[in-house]
Chain A
Amino acid sequence: MTRTPLRPLARILAARRAGENPDAIERANLAARHEADRDEQRQRAEGRLLVLGIVFLCAFFMVGMKMSVLAASDPAEPRALASGAQIVAARADITDRNGRILATNLTTHSLYAQPPQMIDPERSAHELAAIFPDLDADKLVKLFTGKRKFIWIKRRISPEQQQAVFDIGDPGLLFGPREMRLYPNGHLAAHILGGAGFGREGVTSAELIGVAGIERAMDETLSDPGRGDVPLRLSLDLTVQAAVERVLAGGMRLMNAKGAAAILMDAQNGEILAMASLPDFDPNDRPRPLVKGDPAESPLFNRAVQGVYELGSTFKVFAAAQAIEERLVSRSTWIDTKGPLTWGRHRIHDLYDHGPALTVEDVIVESSNIGTARIAMMIGPERQQDFLGRLGLFSPTQVELIEAPGAKPLLPKTWSEIHAMTISYGHGMSASPLHLATAYASLLNGGHEVKPTLLIQEAPVRGRQVVSENTSQQMREFLRQVVQRGTATLAEVPGYRVAGKTGTADKPKPQGGYYEDKVIATFAGVFPADDPRYVLVVTLDEPVETSGSEPRRTAGWTAVPVAAEVIRRAAPLLGLAPGVEPSAVEGVTLARN
């Protein structure tokens, strides 16, 4: 565009010459320039106004969209605050292997008050206190007449209590549906199930979350809404579990033990059929964790999984198995058992003198510490570590309990020859009874590794080979000898050909050293010896058997009889046919059919 000059001199000069007033020209010129300026401004403004218009249009559109989205979504709370609103089971049931309920949900109600709607707060407060003895009437009166508009009174009430509250007839007392977790079997399998509590809580519903055990470990699976009504099926057998717990509780009382644990495992695939830890608790009313002292003293403590103990002579079979597997010895190789065995300043003793030498088989049968230590010397620390590691004794078990990853075996910091020797007979390293059961299953089931599990295995699992079939069979024969003529003769249950090993370990003092009169007595075994189906581990904490002239603490007198009783009760429940004389086999089979 051409610029309009401020003062059009040529025109003004011409006007002057003509005698006209040049101011008019100047004014006209100014006006034209002003007009041009305005035009320019307007064009710029036009564009910017368009931008504004579009921005506002978009903004209005956005508000409208957001409003539509909001209007199309469901209200946060159900329309009716009434308790009749349908609540879908948000958490899957847990059943045993045969589908019997271990944990299910029950719709109960929570009780809350809205004081502004209450008609007679004082009377209601007193009636409530009469229904719930733990409530204080005066406090309630204070709450109901105060400024608060919403008060939780009870998180869970029973239908009878609900009816009683309903009969008070105060419109300010309201109920919110509460799905609660119910364990119909009470104490049974308490440590496995753990327990559940409320997570986020609203008026009309509350989230159920697992707080311990398998409820916590499988929390996501259980609360997966996509799961529908499919229950979580465990490998446990409710009947067997009940029998094991009952026998164990009796055994614990008879043997004056302060705690006990038992694991019955399928030797072939690692399924845990029963697992008990005593003392136990009721998962419906889970006790509070101890705030001081040793958490292992709490009934919440799962001795079978969380408790790591020196398991004593039960470890001897690992040394023997490795030596035979690696062809360092055969079962009839003579091992020097002259005591004591001195290594540096350490001296290794046997409980009894076993004479100058024993065969490898008899080292296990007679449970000779010196003999096992000598075998461990042949193996050496590195290969021993390798072998025990393959049996799963060095890492936490992978069982589906929230407590399992925390139960790490205690290992020596360095692994010298003396450690190899003591560990070969079960001292110097600690593992949980579940570790022991898993290792026994792997070693004795034909030599393939198993992983402990609480979930039912649909397909047969077969882990990698840990020892050869042959070694495995020899070990079963050794352990059968232990029961027939060794330290575990009380474990003989007619017909079930039990094979197993005892272990009695002095309990370590917290401040170092070992107690003289406190032991962990363990029996670990497999049955039937010729067809390994089940592994059983029974551990008693500080047992003492006082029927004789002097107190007896060795596993052979404490853990073994309990284990025998467990097998006697559980084996028939498991459907295991007792081996009888060949002539009678047919009849028994027919009877079973």
Chain B
Amino acid sequence: MTEMVYGSVPRGGGEPILPRWWRTVDKWSMSCVLVLFGIGLLLGLAASPPLAERNGFSAFYYVERQVFFGGAALIAMFAMTLMSPRTVRRLAVIGFAISFLAMMLLPFIGTDFGKGAVRWFSVGFGSIQPSEFLKPGFIVLVGWMIAASNEVAGPPGKSYSFALALAVVLLLALQPDFGQASLILFAWGVMYFVGGAPFYILAGIAGLVSAGAMFAYRGSEHFARRIDGFLSAEVDPNTQLGYAANAIREGGFFGVGVGEGTVKWSLPDAHTDFIIAVAAEEYGLILVLAIIFLYATIVLRSLFRLMRERDPFIRLAGTGLACTFAMQAMINMSVAVRLLPAKGMTLPFVSYGGSSLVAGGIMLGMLLSFTRARPQGEIRDYLVRSGR
């Protein structure tokens, strides 16, 4: 009777939350993330004392901060994986709006820490880089838009999302941060590609990107200097690239030994952009290959799981997150081995950096939430396909 009057008591699907989470989440990828974080701490122990010494902190100051931010990142990640895709989407859109606003405020109240690019907000305990937090929000939002545009009588989400991407790229280019800008463009391109881009448009985009790169090369001295440094055949051993390449050579296959490396003393960005050089020098090729393997596992497993996903939004947003994550790791490592020109991009989860770490946690949390196993109508699928 009570139920007839007040409606039934809301009940879950019958399975408790945590066991269901454990059953459906991509445990392998999650383990890889944890291992990567561990490696990051390990390398931080080696790479950051010189910097701490230079800046007058205790030797493991940066490691302690890394542990703190890493904890925050992991909590954010677990929280995200627990959420349903709808909740994730909601949070992502809100997060995007906030970080977009924050980025617009950067030119007025941001700081450049003397590095020539206004990317940070200086707050009490450290600094925040809003562009890092913007990325996952942007990707989810774009995924939603493109997915919606594929619905019957849906909005023209592809055009909207492209306009949004351009706006973000413009903001990033103003900082200037061409690395993040290209990453944003790449993320949009990947989702558009998976969302069903016609091939002539793909070709057009490829052309636009190269033209944009040329423009950036001509227009920005900061950018041109880095490209020139890369294109000159003989790498000057006194540049960051030269040090990094030499460190990898010194390391060989098994490394020079824990704490024995020297590159961290000469590279100002040893703990962030060139952490892979520290890894290669002290632990050798083995650790580097292991790191590459971990990244590849996360990305390829995610993509494989997304292939079976029926919901277009989840598929698109998940693809965008996974590919951006992969791209960021790849760009960072390619710079160290001189496949790409020098580019300020952190190695997700391994490099030191509060914003990058927490944002990475959020990003991976979203991805793991999207790649959770859910019923996909496999039986029906099978029947329909075999009927054809």
Interface residues of A (CB under 8 A from B): 1, 30, 33-34, 37-39, 41-42, 44-46, 48-50, 52-53, 56-57, 59-60, 62-64, 66-68, 70-77, 79
Interface footprint category on B: 35 or more
Q: Does B319 contact A (CB under 8 A)?
A: yes
Main secondary structure of the interface of B (DSSP, over half): helix
- Pairwise interchain contact B190-A45, C-beta atoms closer than 8 A: no
Q: Decide: B246 and A76 in contact? CB cutoff 8 A.
A: yes
The residue of chain A having its C-beta at the shortest distance from the C-beta of B330 within the complex is A59
Question: Other CB < 8 Å A-B pairs besides A52-B193, A67-B280, A76-B242, 7 of them?
Answer: A38-B312, A42-B309, A52-B303, A56-B303, A66-B334, A66-B338, A70-B248
Tell whether, in the assembled complex, residue A63 and residue B333 are in contact, meaning their CB atoms are under 8 Å apart: yes
Is A49 in contact with B249, judged by CB distance below 8 angstroms? Answer: no
- Interface readout for B271-307 with A: 1 if CB under 8 Å, 0 if not? 0000000001000110011001001100110011011
C-alpha gap A19/B151 in the complex (Å): 32
CB within 8 Å: A-B pair count: 115
Other-chain residue from A49, A72, A73 in contact with B194 (beta carbon distance below 8 A): A49
- Which residues on B are within 8 Å of A, measured CB to CB? 150-152, 190, 193-196, 237, 242, 245-246, 248-253, 280, 284-285, 288-289, 292, 295-296, 299-300, 303-304, 306-307, 309-312, 315, 319, 323, 326, 330, 333-334, 337-339, 381, 384, 388
Q: What is the distance, in angstroms, from B192's C-beta to the closest C-beta of chain A?
A: 10
Closest 8 CB pairs of A and B: A71-B285, A75-B249, A66-B337, A60-B296, A53-B303, A70-B248, A49-B307, A64-B292
Let me know if B300 and A49 touch, CB within 8 A.
no
B residues within 8 A CB of A52? 190, 193-194, 303, 319, 323
Inter-chain contacts of A67 with B (CB < 8 A)? 248, 280, 285, 288-289, 292, 333, 337
Q: Which residues of A contact B381 (CB under 8 A)?
A: 39
Q: Can you name 11 A-B residue pairings with CB atoms under 8 Å? A: A41-B312, A45-B194, A45-B315, A52-B193, A56-B323, A66-B337, A66-B338, A66-B339, A67-B288, A68-B289, A71-B280
Q: CB within 8 A of A77: which of B246, B248, B323?
A: B246
Interface of A (DSSP majority class): helix
Contacts of A72 in B (CB 8 A): 252-253
CB atoms of B337 and A38 under 8 A apart: no
Do A42 and B323 touch (CB < 8 A)?
no
Among A44, A49, A52, A64, the one with the most B-chain Cβ atoms within 10 Å of its Cβ is A49
Question: Nearest chain-B residue to A38 (Cβ)?
Answer: B310
Cα A38 to Cα B311 with chains together (Å): 8
From residue B350, how far is it (CB to closest CB) to chain A in Å? 14
Is the Cβ of A63 less than 8 Å from the Cβ of B252? no
- In the complex the two chains form, is B307's CB within 8 Å of A60's CB? no
Residues of A within 8 A of B388 (CB): 1
- Known contacts A38-B312, A41-B150, A49-B319; is-contact A71 B300 (Cβ 8 Å): no
- Say yes or no: A70 contacts B310, CB within 8 Å: no
A41 and B333 in contact, given A56-B299, A66-B339, A77-B237 (Cβ under 8 angstroms):
no
Q: In the assembly, what is the distance between CA of A129 and CA of B387, in Å?
A: 95
Q: Is the CB of A71 within 8 A of B253?
A: yes
